[in-house]
Amino acid sequence: MNCMICHLDKKKHSKELWKLHQQSKLCMFCSKSGSEHSEELWELHKSAAEKGQWCPLHKKREKLYPIAVGTARKGIARTCKTIVQDKPHGTILTLPDPPRDIDLVPIYMSCAECDLYLGSIEEDHADILGCMCLKCFRDATGQSGDWCDISPAFARPSHTEIVERHSKDTLISIPEEEKNG
């Protein structure tokens, strides 16, 4: 029996990957289907959502809601009850009136090396990049960043020199063997 998602035989899948590919389950972190994830990426997204669901202030798991911050793609956020402290007059705890009594705290994945938050491309390929941002991945694999750090519009002429190897005549000329056929 072949998988409808990756067209591989059932025997070439682990039990978890087979179940993941046969279900139309959505990832709670990125809202994409399970078929668009490898096993490792599914687990990374699942652990990021579970870790982000924990509120250290209230010491409990909070509800998750979809959220879009600015023009970024849709992500998730945990809800957290707002507590206001009036320090000048002592420690008086007050709860604001609804709907201002709940904060939405966005949940992001962070880089395994530098602890900065990952972008959407890095989150989508976290299994390949080892949960690292592109900068840390380039550093870890010894790749120079020159090729992607310089925009072609701002490159100096020495970076964009084109060496003309063939003239127009040699590119259009037909070999003698093909002419005589």
Q: Which of 134, 140, 64 is nearest to 102 (CA)?
A: 64
- Is 9 contained in some domain? no
**2 domain-assigned:** no
- Whether residue 167 lies inside any domain: the answer is no
Please state, in angstroms and as integers, the Cα–Cα distance from residue 18 to each residue in 23, 44, 49, 117, 125, following that order: 9, 18, 22, 31, 20
Reported pTM? 0.61
Residue 100 is assigned to a structural domain of this protein: no
Domain annotation covers residue 130: yes
138 within some domain: yes
**Could you tell me the residue range of the domain that residue 133 belongs to?**
109-142
Whether the pLDDT of residue 131 is over 90: the answer is: yes
Q: Which pLDDT does position 122 carry in this prediction?
A: 93
Percent share of the chain, pLDDT over 90: 23
The per-residue pLDDT for range 49-67, each reduced to its tens digit, is: 999 998 888 888 988 989 8
Q: Which long-range contacts (CB under 8 A, 24 or more apart) does 28-33 make?
A: 28/64, 28/76, 29/75, 29/76, 29/107, 29/109, 29/123, 30/75, 30/123, 30/124, 31/66, 31/74
Number of separate domains in the chain: 1
Confidence of residue 70 (pLDDT cuts 50, 70, 90): confident
Residue 68 lies in a domain: no
For residue 115, being part of any structural domain is answered with yes
pLDDT > 70 fraction of the chain, expressed in percent and rounded: 65
